[in-house]
Structure 1
């Protein structure tokens, strides 16, 4: 795993993961499954892979995956998840503080699922680097929360949520080289930790890079 120096962002996420045995559900993100099912497996980069559910799902469907995250604890859990699923030989784990360091190489699929953080993250820079890492003919998949859940009465911190057109503009993709296959706001059911039912809205962009 790539070494990174302790920073406020690294310390925040390490503390977050060490605060519980498992932070996420262990299931792949539904919009990743929706958008990637049907693509021909190749090489994939999972940015902010967390505990590895998306990377393991991709590997189990034939992709050769690089998973990158800021937290060593998250990556250790992800490696254990891959081993349990029998796909450890199809996934490489790298530790990066995205925006500072970034995985090398090009990939047939670059997935950025919910790269949103309560600590500083240069989101636009990371997404532009993600686009640059897409191989000719490959796919960039971005999924972001579009707002707080409906049951969130008081936002816990100030944040500007990305919009469909805002992310498209921030990517600054060359005309004629990319096509937006999906650019959509999706509403899904959501339940608060206290059991309050509601919904939240996510934005999804699937962008295809032209081949040679």
Structure 2
């Protein structure tokens, strides 16, 4: 596992965020990723913004060899501990990257970017990351992007200013036609999701699955 001390606002923000034992997700893989990937033949996978490692562990458990990247050394340490407990240490390479500056080298059969939303990201940063993510997809491989399409229904006032990109906006940037790729999934879904106080609510998410030509 690669880790270095925080050097900028994003690293500091997310290290502070993941120091709370209650952060890091439910422990279950993202449902959009499961829906799009469960039927694929395992190969090599890149998990961008892996957070607590739930997606990476799920993929490794299916037989994928996973490279998992996050800006937070704290999140990576916790994720690596979970991998050790699950007996999956040898199937996951944990790497610390500020994805606005660097990303793991190589090409992958699957590149996953799930909910890369950040209150400390600069304008255009997410789009640049996704563009580089597309470049990391191996011939015949897939890029799966899960995104929030807005604030949840119980969020009366947004906690910070944020533009949630539409699938159309992301496709315009990724330009699959120019790349010769196939769009296999382009959907907007609204899920029932309980709010922090337990009351029922909803949240709209979008998913894109693009396949690179062989």
TM-score tier after normalising by the smaller chain length: over 0.9
Contact conserved, 1:4 with 1:95, CA < 8 A, in 2? no
Contact conserved, 2:4 with 2:73, CA < 8 A, in 1? no
Please tell me the root mean square deviation across aligned C-alpha atoms, in Å. Answer: 1.3
TM-score w.r.t. the length of structure 2 is: 0.95
Q: Which residue of 2 aligns with 1:192?
A: 195
**Divergent runs of 4+, >4 A:** none
Shift of 1:70: 0.4
Within 2, Cα distance between the matches of 1:9 and 1:168?
26
Unaligned runs of 5+ in 1: none
CA separation of 1:184 and 1:4: change in aligned 2, threshold 3 A: farther
TM-score w.r.t. the length of structure 1 is: 0.96
The count of aligned residue pairs is: 211
Q: Which residue of 1 aligns with 2:68?
A: 67
Within 2, Cα distance between the matches of 1:39 and 1:143?
17
Q: Which residue of 1 aligns with 2:151?
A: 148
Q: For residues 89-133 of structure 1, what are the alpha-carbon distances to aligned partners after superposition, in whole Å with 9 as ceiling and x for unaligned?
A: 100000000011111000000000000001114001000000000
Within 1, Cα distance between the matches of 2:200 and 2:170?
29
Aligned pairs for 1:56-205 within 5 A: 56-121=57-122, 122-175=125-178, 177-205=180-208
Shift of 1:33: 0.6
Within 1, Cα distance between the matches of 2:10 and 2:193?
27
Q: For residues 121-165 of structure 1, what are the alpha-carbon distances to aligned partners after superposition, in whole Å with 9 as ceiling and x for unaligned?
A: 400100000000000000000000000001111111111111010
Contact conserved, 1:108 with 1:135, CA < 8 A, in 2? yes
Unaligned runs of 5+ in 2: none
Within 2, Cα distance between the matches of 1:4 and 1:96?
11
Contact conserved, 1:177 with 1:210, CA < 8 A, in 2? yes
Aligned pairs for 1:36-51 within 5 A: 36-51=37-52
Return 168-177 or 12-21, whichever deviates more.
168-177
Q: Which residue of 1 aligns with 2:15?
A: 14
Within 1, Cα distance between the matches of 2:164 and 2:106?
29
